[in-house]
Chain A
Amino acid sequence: MGKHNTPMLDELEKGPWPSFVSDIKQQVANGKHILKEAPDDLLGVMELSYVDKVTHWKHGGIVGVFGYGGGIIGRYCDQPQMFPGVAHFHTVRVNQPSSKFYTAKYLRELCDLWERHGSGLTNMHGSTGDIVFLGTTTDHLEPLFFEMTHELNQDLGGSGSNLRTPECCLGQSRCEFACYDTQEACDNLTHEYQDELHRPAFPYKFKFKFDGCPNGCVASIARSDMSFIGTWRDNIRIDQAAVKAYVGGEFAPNAGAYSGRDWGKFDILKEVVDLCPTNCMRWDGSKLEINDKECVRCMHCLNVMPRALRKGLDTGTSILFGAKAPILEGAQMSTLTVPFLKMESPFSEAKDLVEKVWDWWMEEGKNRERLGELIQRKSFQEFLRVCELDPDPRMVDEPRSNPYIFWKEEEVEGGWTRDIDAFRAKHQR
C-alpha cells in the first residue's frame, strides 16, 4: 500500500493492456531508487490531476549540466508540500543507440545508474527517440552525468533550441527494404554534430530523421526538419517464379500481414497491378512486367510480394526539408529538395548540405522559427539558392497557378533602370 489513496488511477489497473499504474506501484514496492518517495508521490500528483482535470506541473527552470545547454528539462510540482518526493522532478534525455537495439547487460547498467540518481521511472522511449529518465533533483545531475560518461561511455540527448537527438528506423539491420544504412548515417551525423546537439545556437529545434525506404517507419516526412528517405533509381528486381508462387497461393501475400480476415484468394491484378499509382505494371497470367521509368517507388507491390520483388541496386536517399507540428503557422510535411543522393560513409555531401542550411537558418531565422516556416517566409526559390541546387519539377506537385513571379533584374533584358524622359518623348502625359 502506497502513501496516497489513488482510487481513480486504480481504475487503470484493470483491462488487458499493460497498466503503467501497476508498473509504478511495483517500483514503489520493490525498487531501490534513491529518491525514495518519488514514484509514490508521482501517483499522488497524478491522482490529484485526475480529480482536478488539470496538470500540477510548472514550467521548468534553467537546469542542466556544466557546459551543456540541453539534455535536461527542468520540472517542478505546483503542490510541493503535498508531494515532496516530486517537488523537483527533472527529466534527463539520454541519447539512444541507433534503432534502439540493446543488450540486457547495458540496459541493466542504465537501470542501476538511474536508481542511484533518480526516481527509477523512465520513458522507453521519448517522442524524439531518447531514453528518458523521468524525475530527479538538481543535486543528482552532475554525479549522474559524470558516472554516465565515465562508466557507461554514454552521453545526453538534445533539448531546447539545439539539434535534437537524431533517430532512424532499423534499416538494413533487419529489413529487406532499407535503401541505405540508416543506423550508420544516424550515428555518424550524431557524432559529427555533438556541439550543435549540446549547445543551443539555433533559432529553434532541428531534427534529422532517417527512414530506410518510402514506407517511412520513423515518420521523418512528418517529424523532421531534414528527412532522409531511402529510395532507388534503377529497376525493381523481379523473381518471376516467386510471383507465380504468390499467384498460386504458395506464398502468403503481404508477408501474412492481412491474414486475420478472409479476404479471398490473392488476386494479383486487383491487389497489385490495379492499385499501382502510376499504372506501370502488367500481368499477363504468367509474367509480371514493370515499366520502371514510370514507377514512383510507393512500395505497395514490394510490400505485397516481398519474396518476389526487391528494391533496385542503385540505392540512396531522397532528402526533404521542413516538417513540423502545428505550432505556429500550421503543420507542415517535408518538401522534396534533393531527389537522389548516394548515402555512404562519411556522408560528406549530406553534411555539406546540412551546414549550408544551418548557416542560412541561423542568419535569417527568427526566434522560434522552424526551418519549414523560414522556407515559406523567404520562398523555396531562396532555399534552393542557399542549397546551391537547380530547380527541378520533382520538387513541386504542380507549377504555380498565379503569375506573380518575383523576376530578378538580371533576368530581364535591359535591366530595370529606365529613363522617364525618353518614355515621355514617345508618350504624352
Chain B
Amino acid sequence: MPYDPSAPLKDRITDIGPRHYGEFLPPVIKKNKGKWLYHEILQPGVLVHVAESGDKVFSVRVGGCRLMSVEHLREICDIADKYCDGYLRFTTRNNIEFLLADESKLKPLVDDLKSRKFSGGSNKFPVGGTGAGVTNIVHTQGWAHCHTPAIDASGVVKAVMDAIYDEFDHMKLPAPVRVSLACCLNMCGAVHCSDIAILGIHRKPPMVDGEWIDKLCELPLAIAACPTGAIKPAKTADGKKSLEVKAERCMFCGNCYTMCAAMPLADELGSGIAILVGGKLSNRISKPKFSKVVIPFIPNEPPRWPSTVEAVKNIIDVYSKDAHKYERLGDWAERIGWERFFEKTNIPFTHHLIDDYRFAYTTWRQSTQFKF
C-alpha cells in the first residue's frame, strides 16, 4: 500500500532504528565472529583474516569518494555479486571493502577492480589504503552542500590524493599517515587528531545584514553565540534593531553565522586553508594527541589547490625521510623538537602559530631545553 498524502499519519511506522547488522554479515564472518586469530596484509589493499576454525576471509580495500552516485553504487553491487556472493562493507574512512571466502576469486577481483576507469581516466576502484601508508582522506561537504564552509572539500581531497596516490597503494612510510579535511571550524569531520589536517578557516569578521537581521535572527542568541564577546546590540542608521561586531575581538569561528543567517563571513580572499599536523587517535606507544597548526593560511586555489597539495606533499616527504619506523608524524616532531620540524620542512614560523586562546599557556615553553 503506497503512501497516501491525504492521510500522512495513517499506518505510520517510527522509531524502528537501523537494520540489524546480522542480516548483512557474510557467512564466513557470521560463523567466526569473535574467533579471529590473526590477520595479514598480503599486498597493499588486500587482507586475509584467519579464524580459530582455520577459515579465512579475504578483504579487498578500495578508495571511494564519499560523494557517490547510485550509478556507482550499483556498479559496486555488481562487483560484489560477481565475486563476493553479494557481500561488502564500507570503512570508517570511506573505503569500500569487498569480502570473500573463496581465494580463487581474489586475483580476478583485484584485476577487475584495477581495470575499471571513469570516463575522465581516473581509477574507479583504487586498491590500497592499508598499513604504513596514506589511506582515504575523510572529509566534509564543502561547496557541494554546506552553508558555512571556507573551502571546498571533495575537490581539495581529489587534488591531494592524486598527488600522494603513491602512498595509498604502497606501505613505505614510517607509520600510517591519516589525512583529514574539514571545511570549517565546526569540523563535522573532527580533524583535530589527524596526522595531517586540512582545515577551512575564515579571516574576515561577519558582515551584518542590518536590513534583515532582526527579522531573520534571535539577536540575543547571536550575541550569546560569540565566545569572545565581540558582538553587541546596535541600531541601523534608520533605527532598526541590529548587531555590531567588534572586529579586533573576532577569531572567525563562524559560530554567530551558525546561529544567525544574517551574519555571513565567507569571502573570496578572506577564506582559505590552515594545515595542522601531528595528531593521532590511537593509544599505540604514545597517547592520543591533538594536531597543531603549522601553516596558518593558504588561499583557496580552485580547481586543484596547488599550494595546499605542495604543502601536504612536502610534510609527508620530509617525515618519510626523517622519522624512525613506528613513529607517527606527531611522535617524530616531538622527538626532533618543533623547532627542527619547521627547519626541516622549511615552513616559516610566524606569530599566528603561538596559541593565544583558552589553554594557550599549556603550549608555551617553560624550560631552557631547546635546540639551536
Q: A17-B165, A327-B185 are in contact. Are A275 and B40 (CB under 8 A)?
A: no
B283 at the binding interface (Cβ < 8 Å): yes
Q: Name the residue of chain B whose CB is nearest to the CB of A102.
A: B24
B147 touches A57 (CB 8 A): yes
SS of B interface (majority): loop
Q: How distant is the Cα of A258 from the Cα of B224 in the complex, in angstroms?
A: 50
Pick the contact of A127: B41, B123, B132, B140 (CB < 8 A): B140
B147 touches A187 (CB 8 A): no
Of A149-157, A281-289, A387-395, A412-420, the one contacting chain B is A149-157
**What 7 A-B pairs come out closest when comparing CB atoms?**
A13-B120, A257-B131, A15-B162, A260-B172, A325-B187, A22-B118, A104-B77
A258 touches B38 (CB 8 A): no
B131 contacts across to A, CB distance below 8 A: 254-260
A328 contacts across to B, CB distance below 8 A: 227, 253, 255
B119 touches A26 (CB 8 A): yes
In the complex, how many angstroms separate the beta carbon of B370 from the nearest chain A beta carbon?
A: 23
B203 at the binding interface (Cβ < 8 Å): no
A66 touches B8 (CB 8 A): yes
A235 at the binding interface (Cβ < 8 Å): no
Q: A46-B144, A99-B89, A325-B190 are in contact. Are A256 and B40 (CB under 8 A)?
A: yes
A120 touches B71 (CB 8 A): yes
B36 touches A174 (CB 8 A): yes
B225 at the binding interface (Cβ < 8 Å): yes
The A248-268 residues at the B interface (CB cut-off 8 A) are: 252, 254-261, 263
Contact with B along A124-160 (1 / 0, CB 8 A): 1111110000110000001100110110111100000
Contact with A along B23-51 (1 / 0, CB 8 A): 11110010001101111111010000100
A299 at the binding interface (Cβ < 8 Å): yes
B92 touches A218 (CB 8 A): yes
In the complex, how many angstroms separate the beta carbon of A51 from the nearest chain B beta carbon?
A: 8
Q: How distant is the Cα of A172 from the Cα of B26 in the complex, in angstroms?
A: 13
Of B13-21, B206-214, B230-238, B341-349, the one contacting chain A is B13-21
Pick the contact of B90: A18, A125, A219 (CB < 8 A): A125
Contact with B along A98-130 (1 / 0, CB 8 A): 111111111110110011000011111111110
Q: A50-B143, A216-B288, A326-B185 are in contact. Are A106 and B78 (CB under 8 A)?
A: no
CB<8 Å pairs between A and B, sample of 18 = A11-B303, A16-B123, A18-B63, A23-B71, A27-B72, A57-B147, A104-B80, A111-B73, A126-B66, A147-B3, A181-B34, A214-B283, A216-B283, A219-B190, A221-B288, A254-B131, A330-B358, A331-B187
B14 touches A149 (CB 8 A): yes
A174 contacts across to B, CB distance below 8 A: 29, 36, 49, 57, 59, 99
B145 touches A57 (CB 8 A): yes
B187 touches A327 (CB 8 A): yes
B268 touches A298 (CB 8 A): no
The A2-31 residues at the B interface (CB cut-off 8 A) are: 8-27, 30-31
Q: A96-B18, A120-B70, A299-B284 are in contact. Are A107 and B171 (CB under 8 A)?
A: no
B70 touches A258 (CB 8 A): no
B172 touches A124 (CB 8 A): no
Q: How distant is the Cα of A39 from the Cα of B285 in the complex, in angstroms?
A: 46
B325 at the binding interface (Cβ < 8 Å): yes
In the complex, how many angstroms separate the beta carbon of B313 from the nearest chain A beta carbon?
A: 13
What is the size category of the interface that chain B forms with chain A? Answer: 35 or more
A329 touches B24 (CB 8 A): no
B371 at the binding interface (Cβ < 8 Å): no
B40 touches A17 (CB 8 A): no
Q: Which of A102, A108, A123 has the most CB of B within 10 A?
A: A102
In the complex, how many angstroms separate the beta carbon of A152 from the nearest chain B beta carbon?
A: 8
B281 touches A221 (CB 8 A): yes
B165 touches A75 (CB 8 A): no
Query: Which residues in B have some Cβ–Cβ distance to A below 8 Å?
Result: 1-3, 5, 8-9, 11-21, 23-26, 29, 33-34, 36-42, 44, 49, 57, 59, 63-74, 76-78, 80-81, 86-92, 94, 96, 99, 118-126, 130-133, 138, 140-149, 152, 154-155, 158-159, 161-162, 165, 168, 170-173, 176, 182, 185-190, 192-193, 221, 224-225, 227, 253, 255, 261, 266-269, 271, 281-286, 288, 290, 300, 302-304, 325-326, 357-359
B74 contacts across to A, CB distance below 8 A: 108, 111
Q: Name the residue of chain B whose CB is nearest to the CB of A277.
A: B285
B303 touches A9 (CB 8 A): yes
B11 contacts across to A, CB distance below 8 A: 150
In the complex, how many angstroms separate the beta carbon of B161 from the nearest chain A beta carbon?
A: 4
In the complex, how many angstroms separate the beta carbon of B256 from the nearest chain A beta carbon?
A: 11
Contact with B along A58-95 (1 / 0, CB 8 A): 11100000111000000100000000000001010001
Q: A49-B152, A95-B18 are in contact. Are A103 and B41 (CB under 8 A)?
A: no
A25 contacts across to B, CB distance below 8 A: 119
Q: How distant is the Cα of A103 from the Cα of B40 in the complex, in angstroms?
A: 25
Q: How distant is the Cα of A18 from the Cα of B118 in the complex, in angstroms?
A: 7
The A208-239 residues at the B interface (CB cut-off 8 A) are: 214-219, 221-223
A223 touches B302 (CB 8 A): no
Beyond the given A104-B87, A307-B38, please list 9 additional residue pairs across the A-B interface where CB-CB is below 8 A: A13-B121, A17-B63, A17-B158, A22-B122, A102-B89, A120-B70, A154-B19, A183-B21, A255-B131
